[in-house]
Amino acid sequence: MELRTIPPLEYARLVLPLSAKLWAGRRNLETYAAQTLEIAQGGYGRRYYRTIGLYDDGALISSCKRYERTVQLGARRLRVFGVGAVFTPEPLRGRGYASVMLAMLLDAARAERCDAVYLFSDIRPHFYEELGFRLQPSRSITLRADELPAGRIALARMEERDWDGIRRAFSMLDRARTWSFTRTPLVWDWIRTRLRHGSEHTRGADAHFVVRKGGAFAYALGMRVPERDTYALDEFGFAGNGAEELLPTLLRGAAGDLRRIAGWLPPDGARQILPRGAVRDRRSAIFMIAPLSESGKRWCALSERPSPADGVWSTDHI
């Protein structure tokens, strides 16, 4: 058996028709394939994203996606990569091929002197624990929209010109965190593309909003999901004098006439802006880390430390 990089077009031809029912969501196969190829062919994809296959005697028997990222841990930068879309065709399941593939990926990461590998588990976290991954806090929060203050603010739909302000606001909050995934311009382009695709949500309509008031700026990225009476919040941020006070009113306005606001429990610096709400463990997208170096172990231990906040935004999900 051997690991190989699967060229994007070959991955779209061999894997996506089989995995579509798991991950295409509301997209048809054509759209699912086109958007996957757009990620692979973008600036981030060409440098930091790969589709990987486990081959046995020339036949593809399991596959996954690999996303390179950098973690900022104090003054240190850790080289890590994420694993997503682990997939074995149905007739080949139950033979341990995915375990072999992941074990070989971890061995390769050690040889490359990566500090850690991470993933978001949707099923059977114990499967990944047996390979050396450790569970991290993975919680969600639900708020009643009417618990947030109503106010007269100039709520506006996000436009392309707002991305500079969003990046600045994110950076302001990011500075207060003990660790975070670094966002380079290429990573921001990747996030923007995925938001445009709407690939993280199986239903709903884009509802990204900003507020500008004097020198203050705040934003919220999310989806309105009327079937669930919920505004699904992916990320928010603020910068400038008085911006923190705009955020709760912005979120209530983003929800509109929907009753709930729900999303992943935000990281430090952002969590404190929200009321207590109903916080519970997530049943999917459970964050896990396999540390491979001493720095990776420090990151893992810091992430595991009890905290009223979580470590990642849902926009970092892979």
pLDDT at 270: 94
Instruction: Give residue 255's pLDDT band: very low, low, confident or very high (50, 70, 90).
Output: very high
pLDDT at 131: 96
Residue 126: C-alpha distances to residues 123, 133, 134 (Å):
9, 9, 9
| Longest Cα–Cα distance in the chain | 66
Question: Is residue 108 classed as helix, strand or coil in its secondary structure?
Answer: helix
pLDDT above 90 covers a percentage of the chain that reads 92
239, 274 Cβ separation under 8 angstroms: no
pLDDT at 132 over 90: yes
- How far is the C-alpha of 118 from the C-alpha of 151, rounded, in Å? 41
Domains of the chain: 2-138+283-316 (3.40.630.30), 140-281 (3.40.630.30)
Per residue in 62-115, pLDDT (tens digit) is 999 999 999 999 999 999 999 999 999 999 999 999 999 999 999 999 999 999
Residue 153's pLDDT band (cuts 50, 70, 90): confident
| Residues 166-185 as b or e (16 or more Cβ within 10 Å = b) | beebbebbbeeebbbbebee
Mean pLDDT of the chain: 95
Confidence of residue 33 (pLDDT cuts 50, 70, 90): very high
In this model, does residue 25 exceed pLDDT 90? no
Encoding tokens for residue 30? 């054509």
pLDDT tier, 124 (very low <50, low <70, confident <90, very high otherwise): confident
Half-sphere exposure of 282 (CA within 13 A, CB side): 24
Confidence band (pLDDT; 50, 70, 90) for 194?
A: very high
Residue 72: its H or E element:
strand 59-73
Q: What percent of the chain is modeled with pLDDT above 70? A: 100
pTM: 0.94
Query: Does 130 have pLDDT greater than 90?
Result: yes
Task: Tell me the two tokens of residue 140.
Answer: 């969600």
**Residue 9 CB contacts under 8 Å (≥ 6 apart), including other chains:** 37
**pLDDT for residue 202 is more than 90:** no
Question: In which region does residue 268 sit, left (phi positive, over 0), alpha (psi from -120 to 50) or beta (all else)?
Answer: beta
Q: Does residue 176 surpass a pLDDT of 90?
A: no
Does residue 148 have a pLDDT over 90? yes
